[in-house]
A and B are shown apart, each in its own frame.
Chain A
Amino acid sequence: MKRKTLFWAGLFALLAIAGAAVYMLRGAGTVAVVTVDGQEVDRVDLTAVAVAWEKTYTSERGWNTVRFSPGRVAVIDADCPGHDCVRQGDIADGAVPIVCLPHRLVIEIVD
């Protein structure tokens, strides 16, 4: 019994550390890619952004206003019901994309 507990605890600990490592190592990248409904609509090099600017992406499902800042990008307003994308705030690396599910909008940072 004790051996089994140790086995599973060890296995899960390893997996958890591996997952966290992959997540943290995948940080590089400076280009924000905006995708709406599976179609790439914009590609912005965030290192080339000197002064923050905003752009609103509208589809038949709704709109999202995105702010591109030096090295960072965020959804600052949207008419979706949940506002998960707005609450996420700025992203500065490729670890986690911003996803607005109701509007099928995805912002990723790639190399």
Chain B
Amino acid sequence: MSKTKKLVVMALLTAVELTIWVIEGQIPPPIPVPGVKLGLASVVTLTAMKLLGRKEAGCILLGRIALGCLFAGSLSAAIFSLAGGALSWCVMSALVGLFPEKLLWVVSVFGAIGHNLGQLLAAMAVTGTPGLIWYGPALLTAAIITGTFTGLGAMYLTRALRAYERRQG
């Protein structure tokens, strides 16, 4: 992939991820536990990690967080996004090479757990309330369920995009 094409694809994926993230924010969460959401935007991050590389996926994620905070517009949201995103990226970067593509959903689940853990630690640090750790088990269950589905989504998207690339020659 040429440098220019790569840049264009990265910009495109950032826009896609931002759109998904903003729209998802408008949908009420399926269960009334704050902080629990599907995390559909991570489909794009994981796909980028598979198709372009870890660094590129990190850039897309950072771009989405920066732009997302302009739209959502609060500093605490930025701290949360960064804490969750950074930990999730670290975990997925470390694991993505260790699992075959068929098990991409496992990487995604660990990434989702990392994301929720990062947000939980940020919440504990910001509010100075260590008791929030009790919130952890619920977030773990949520991460496993949502991570499985976003991971499967990323796997199918990766396959589809590769097939498309091949057809284009």
Contact = CB atoms under 8 A, between A and B. Distances in A.
B100 A97 contact: no
Contacts, number: 88
B148 A12 contact: yes
A89 B32 CA distance: 9
Interface residues of A, number: 34
B34 A23 contact: no
A16 interface: yes
A104 B126 contact: yes
A96 B74 contact: no
B interface, over-half SS: helix
B74 A102 contact: yes
A99 B132 contact: yes
A102 B34 CA distance: 14
Interface in A1-52: 1, 4-5, 8, 12, 15-23, 26, 35, 37-38
Interface of A: 1, 4-5, 8, 12, 15-23, 26, 35, 37-38, 81-82, 84, 88-89, 94-97, 99, 101-102, 104-106, 108
Interface of B: 32-34, 73-74, 76-77, 80, 100, 102-103, 106, 109, 123, 126-129, 131-132, 134-141, 144-145, 148
